[in-house]
Chain A
Amino acid sequence: MATTVVAALPQEYSGGTLAREQVSLWRDGVRRLRRNKLALAAVIYLAILVVMSIVAFVWTPYKPNAIGACETYTTPSGAHPFGCDELGRDSLSRLMVGAQLSLAVGLGTALIVLFVGVTVGLVAGYFRGPVDSAISLVINIFYGIPTLLVALVLYTLLGPGLVNIMIAISATIWMDMARLVRGQTLSIREREFVEAARASGARSGKILFGHIFPNALGPIIVQATFVIPVAILTAAFLSFLGLGVAPPQADWGGMAAEGLQAIRYVPHIVLAPSIAISLTLLAFNFFGDGLRDAFDPRQKR
């Protein structure tokens, strides 16, 4: 017979025991995360990826842009474990350099979304009233615009470049974060400790970032983790449509797009970066899932 789930602690009881509760939530969360095998595997994969991209700054098996390092369209073999592309450049080296770019795009976009979404959400949720209405209207308008299309138009306006790509992608996904933080703020602001802080004369900024923000941190981190794979995927889309970083910079999406033409002739050119993208996306998704399960106080375990 299945047991019912443990109900969340009612908000009235969250007063003075805040500090202790927070610590135990974190420790509890980490423990639960460690037991989630998929999430663990994801973390290991991501760690390897990060190490590989850092190493790529100083060393790669061949220079990633060296044309003619091998015959064009070489299939995977000993000297070139991932083969070579249509200009005779070593695929493994380019994959390593591409990892740098993908991770940068993912993390950079997540940071931008974090900054913009959290600020907007906090302001909307805390001040309510006309400020909230206006912000919510803007959010709804952005929701009404097809995401890829915004990214396309912005990209065409801003031009190629890593930061521009991050900006273009952020413009399409910041709303989820803003809405999440707004919802969190709306509920947290009613808690007694916030009342207390207000009564004692603390300024709004201190309340927002000193009290409300730390309490919403869990879901915010989870949301930010999910932004990364979306950003990497959107960047790959833009590359596929020909709007990625300028060559000869190796980037997974661009490599996949170039390799698509040759998919029947030498499938490895498109398969290698596609698998890399997919594994990375999977890893971030599993990791995010694990984080969310770990921080959810309603979980059975």
Chain B
Amino acid sequence: MLTRGTVVYIGQRVLLIGFTVLVVSFGVFYAVHSLPGNAFITERVHGQALQALLHQHGLDRPIVVQYWDFLRSAIHGDLGQSFVIQGEAITPLVIRELSVSMELGGAALLITVGLGMLFGVLAAIRQNTWVDYTLTTFAVIGYSVPSFVLASLFVLIFGLWLHDVTGGAFFYPLVWTGTYGTLAELSIPALALGLYTSGQVTRITRAAMLDVVQQDYIRTARAKGLKPVTVTLRHALRNAMVPVTSILGPLVVSIIAGSVVIETIFGIPGLGKEFARSITSHDYNVTVGVFTIFAALIGVANLGVDLLYTVIDPRIRY
């Protein structure tokens, strides 16, 4: 319930997020402006012509002045214009890509938590059988294989091999259509992104369920005559949610980081792919914009997770 303590807590966290975003934005701004090179120099545009271009875009002013300008308009939601695509406004671009990334990340999170907990439950129920060993090893393998390798293998298997084997009837389409893709096009990248972290969820779920299954109140519930299935799913799972929720924050961070590679490999027009390109193409405001959005996302996700605790375990209060 929304007590005064909770409101104060949320307020404090929001302040922390805001402060983090501010620090991050300045740090990144300074860092990318210090990198050698710029967005305008080519073999034909250099010397005087280059200086003129830099001047027009205000890039020859002191960094603090540029940052102050950027901050003033960013607070109003205007991230400025791209240097790489002349005249293109950054804010709508970033918002569109953010929604694509959230679509991908959300699907990956579903797979992570859903698949991870499913496997964890199965492994716990069939503890020390071949099911357990297979699933546990599968989970560890999941976060030991670099995701770019996993993604490329998926492209090979689902895109090409499946296409050849079924004569073109079933296959994962290798081209992302439109902004949000189709469900089929989302499935494989989400799997590649979510598989990596689902292994951790599996192991934690398994451990938590094993732990809980042995506790007294479970035995009491069983003694009361409730069916084992009900007991397992209702009580044990509910309590296993706490440790899973505790790594939800780092999970989101992992997914955000992984999206940089996955979006690039699958050609998904999202924020991660944007970030990867904007550093070397010197599109400064894009880099800063993407970075701060990510930082804000992580802060909000962590806050959400902490609030989720209160729902799952009513004993936890702020």
Residues of A within 8 A of B (CB): 2, 4-5, 137, 140-141, 143-149, 152-153, 156-157, 229, 233, 236-237, 240-241, 253, 256-257, 260, 263-264, 270, 274, 277-279, 281-282, 285-286
Contacts and interface: CB of A to CB of B under 8 A. Distances in A.
B35 interface: yes
A278 B144 CA distance: 5
A157 B146 contact: no
Contacts of B295: 144-146
A225 to B, nearest CB: 14
A281 B199 CA distance: 14
A233 to B, nearest CB: 6
Contacts of B20: 140-141, 144-145
Given A153-B279, A237-B146, A274-B145, 15 more contacts: A143-B253, A144-B302, A145-B20, A146-B294, A147-B257, A149-B257, A149-B291, A153-B291, A156-B279, A233-B146, A237-B148, A240-B146, A256-B146, A260-B149, A278-B146
Contacts of B140: 282, 285-286
A278 B152 contact: no
Nearest to A152: B279
Nearest to B31: A153
Given A153-B279, A270-B149, A278-B144, A4 B160 contact: no
Interface string B288-318: 0001001100110010000000000000000
Contacts, number: 107
Contact of A141 (B19, B31, B35, B149): B19
Nearest to A253: B146
A147 B254 CA distance: 8
A5 B211 CA distance: 9
Interface of A, helix, strand, loop or mixed by DSSP:
helix
B166 to A, nearest CB: 18
B24 A157 contact: no
A16 B299 CA distance: 45
B144 A229 contact: yes
A141 B296 CA distance: 11
